[in-house]
Amino acid sequence: METITSAQNPKIKNLLLLQEKSRARREQGLFVVEGRRELQHCIEAGFEIDTLFVCEDSVIPGLSTVIPGLVPGISSPRIISLPRPLFEKVTYRGATEGVVAEVRIRERRLEDLNLPANPLIVVLESVEKPGNIGAVLRSADAAGADALIVCDPLTDLYNPNLIRASLGGIFSVPTVACASEEAIAFLQQRGISILTAQLQDSSLYYDTPMTGGTALVMGTESTGLTQQWREAATAHIRIPMLGQLDSLNVSVSAAILLFEAVRQRQRL
């Protein structure tokens, strides 16, 4: 196990760079994962650890033998020990359980999705905030959704804020980024109903069948969905708004719609 004590070390500078810059993540093909739970989900999903940074005073039983055995394709990731003051400088939150890793990016395409007969899919169009996408992933995981498709993304899927907010959901829910045109064609070719969440010309969500192949499509809170999704829709659905405001956070909307699909499917 290697030990680094200086914040000026190139490996530490690069770790911080990967956390802050999407361009660096793309160029190096690496992203950062903090926390044992998130890292475990990452490993179980088949991602490969490049470098593992551990806090020197953390108790992580069997780390040097257990972690490599769980990572396909490599026998021994580089493991670097950091003193606690330095470890706390390179991590975003305190409760990282003494571990942060640089992980190899694995690109996934629509064609890579292994969908069941009647899939439940969440589609987000141009949602900008990584935290919102992460929260949607948590709901998607809880509802047993088969995929998340992020269309025309304004943030990369390996943004540290997205990974943290998802609590590892980015690894447990197959997630693809693509253009809206690609997603629409993909869904239509497979006969998957496209249900767009919108206020105009819409029916109440609980009156709309979701037992067959279903894609729940949501846009931004400020502008909603673009016209191409509205025109491609099988049905337009809405959540009733009884107060003075006319929208919910996209992650809340996703949770409501996902669990309506779960309710309908459990009644079969």
Mean pLDDT of 53-66: 64
Whether 168 and 39 share a structural domain: no
Whether 42 and 65 share a structural domain: yes
Whether 53 and 136 share a structural domain: no
Of 88, 104, 120, the residue that ends a domain is 104
Q: Provide the pLDDT for residue 221.
A: 74
Q: Provide the pLDDT for residue 232.
A: 97
Mean pLDDT of 154-168: 91
Of 70, 86, 104, the residue that ends a domain is 104
Torsion 243-244-246-252 (CA) sign: negative
Percent of the chain having pLDDT more than 70? 91
Whether 162 and 210 share a structural domain: yes
Mean pLDDT of 200-225: 92
Whether 249 and 138 share a structural domain: yes
Whether 154 and 215 share a structural domain: yes
Range of the domain at 151: 110-266
What CATH number is given to the structural domain containing 124? 3.40.1280.10
Whether 18 and 119 share a structural domain: no
* Cα(184)–Cα(179) distance, integer angstroms: 9
Q: Provide the pLDDT for residue 246.
A: 75
Q: How confident is the model at residue 244 (pLDDT cuts 50, 70, 90)?
A: confident
Whether 255 and 152 share a structural domain: yes
What CATH number is given to the structural domain containing 11? 3.30.1330.30
Q: Provide the pLDDT for residue 268.
A: 67
- Comparing 60-64, 107-111, 142-146, 183-187, which segment has the lowest mean pLDDT? 60-64
Q: How confident is the model at residue 76 (pLDDT cuts 50, 70, 90)?
A: low
Q: Provide the pLDDT for residue 57.
A: 77
pTM: 0.89
28-38, pLDDT tens digit by residue? 999 999 988 88
Q: Provide the pLDDT for residue 77.
A: 79
Whether 66 and 6 share a structural domain: yes
pLDDT top residue among 167 and 93: 167
- Comparing 64-73, 101-110, 114-123, 195-204, which segment has the lowest mean pLDDT? 64-73
Q: Provide the pLDDT for residue 225.
A: 92
97-112, pLDDT tens digit by residue? 788 999 999 988 999 9
Of 104, 139, 171, the residue that ends a domain is 104
Whether 29 and 96 share a structural domain: yes
Please give the mean pLDDT across all residues of the chain: 89
Number of domains in the chain: 2
Whether 168 and 194 share a structural domain: yes
Whether 205 and 179 share a structural domain: yes
Mean pLDDT of 61-73: 46
